[in-house]
Amino acid sequence: MKIITMRKLFLWPAFAALALSGCSVGHTEYSRTAMQHVDMSFTGIPTVLGLGTLGSSIPITPEYSLTAVHVAKFAVQRVKAYHPYCDLAIIYHKNDAATLAKFRSGAIGDPVKMYGYSFISAMPVESSGSNLARTAIRNSWNKKPCMAMASNAGVVKGMSGGAVYNADNTLGGVIVGFSDEIKSSSSGKTVLKDVSLYIPYSDFQNWLKQNIGQTAQSGA
């Protein structure tokens, strides 16, 4: 599954214009650890290099996983619920209780690690970086008042629906895309380039609780 990319983003309160661009930002590398945090979500019959056939998902209870809507729409798993305005979905998936995440939203400046599957190699990958800024996203999958966190951790197509972890090993959010630039809403100048984008836990905590009857496992 191709990850959603956005050519132009603006810091709140302006919004993003959608354009497909490239296949990755930053650095990612093969990771066995990623397999402990995310699953591969197939979206069709595998082809050479796995092109266009997969996304990522995060086990959160023995019955459910989190992913992006643009992955869930084409995945083989049934959908439990779609977020009303962000690129998030809960899908039915049998999970090992030992792999389930605890949640905690991070702050700007905090270090993060991202985990998912590469659509190029169909292998688990990870990246490291830090939270840079909060920004609005406006496209087919993210509508007002959806907000994202921009990070300098690397992302490659296929990591959509993958996990963003804080330094204390709590789940901080769900990867939804990347952008080649973010512009200031006041000056119009580019303030950030080549950033990954994820929806922070604080922005979907209530929706998650309403739809699975609990807050999965909450972090400290």
Residue 53 confidence (pLDDT) = 58
- CA nearest neighbour of 168 among 108, 110, 215, 117: 110
CB 88 within 8 A of CB 68: yes
Q: What residue has token string 């090993």?
A: 169
Residue 1: what pLDDT?
A: 43
Which CATH topology does 4-218 take?
Answer: Thrombin, subunit H (2.40.10)
Q: Where do the domains of the chain lie?
A: 4-218
Contact predicate 115/40, CB 8 Å:
no
Each of the 220 residues of the chain gets a pLDDT tens digit; together they read 444 444 444 444 334 333 334 577 889 999 999 999 999 986 654 444 444 457 999 999 999 999 999 999 988 889 999 999 999 999 999 998 877 889 999 999 999 999 999 988 889 999 999 999 999 888 889 999 999 999 999 999 999 999 999 999 999 999 999 988 887 777 778 888 899 999 999 999 999 999 997 555 544 3
194 vs 201: CA distance, rounded Å: 22
Query: Mapping DSSP to helix (H, G, I), strand (E, B) and coil, where does residue 126 land?
Result: strand
Single out the residue of 30, 18, 77, 13 nearest to residue 197, CA to CA.
18
